[in-house]
Amino acid sequence: WSTFDTVVTVPVRDPVTGNAAADPYALTFWYVEDPESPEEPPVLRFSRRGWMEGKAMLDSVEAEVLITENVMDGVFDTLDSWAMAPADSADEVLKSKTAKPLSEHSWLRQKAYKVRSIDPSGRRIALVPFDPGMTRAEEIAMNDNMLVDREAARSGGSVKFLDDYSAALTMARREGKPLFIDFETTWCGPCKLMDQWVYTADAVMGASRAVVAVKVDGDDHPDLAKAHGVMGYPTMILLGPDGTEMRRLSGYRSVADMTTFLSRDK
């Protein structure tokens, strides 16, 4: 693949003056061609490199507000995302954990706000106070879906993964055990979280003793990823001793999910 950057202009109507205007729209293009699959046509992909950012004064607190596109169509609406942070910690708006759909509320210190309206150009956004019925700390605790995984019992070990697919396949056949393949990449964030919180949990370690486990880097072994129909990372596949696929999961999965997945009687 190869990439190149460009900036196009999107015609808009300025919501303040009503005059015609143009917004710069920074893009990165990827020209993708797979030499190992010459029958597949080349693909041109793109992503936006920019966002809209400005300041607002809300209840005497200066805020940094950012809006960015989820659907890259040059139009801002509730399908896109926004973030807000106090101006003295403006960098927080650039963190993925801060981003929310424009249809959801966001917090400025201990007060919540919702988007009442947004101009399609992204040049103007109207915010109103919102009562979510709970404090910010209560909402964070409620939405922390990894809390149970972080608090899972640990004795200091982790699942014993092999790094040689062929050797793992041979061992599984010899021992009559299922083969557990964890397809990952070095850039996969959820993969790293599972290494940290899931594969170190005692329950998952115990369940893994019934299988032969191997990690496969999909970037280093695209042939294996393609052969197993891997479309994203992580992808976890359990094969029977005869090589027949028993089940698979994709994306971050909890300690409970993986314990069930690896248990032979499930």
Sequence-ordered list of residues with C-beta below 8 angstroms from that of 97, at least 6 positions apart, any chain: none
Q: Tell me: the pLDDT tens digits for 52-68? A: 999 999 999 999 999 99
Q: Is 131 helix (H, G, I), strand (E, B) or coil?
A: coil
CA 133 – CA 200 distance, rounded (Å): 36
pLDDT at 128: 97
d(CA 14, CA 19) in angstroms, rounded, equals: 5
Nearest residue to 43 via CA among 31, 55, 35, 54? 31
Q: Residue 37: what pLDDT?
A: 80
pLDDT band at 266 (very low <50, low <70, confident <90, very high): very low
Q: What is the mean pLDDT of the chain?
A: 92
Number of Cβ within 10 Å of residue 243's Cβ equals 10
DSSP β-bridge partners for residue 23: 10
CB atoms under 10 Å from CB of 55, counted, come to 10
The tens digit of pLDDT for each residue in 131-181 reads: 999 999 999 888 887 889 999 999 999 999 999 999 999 999 999 999 999
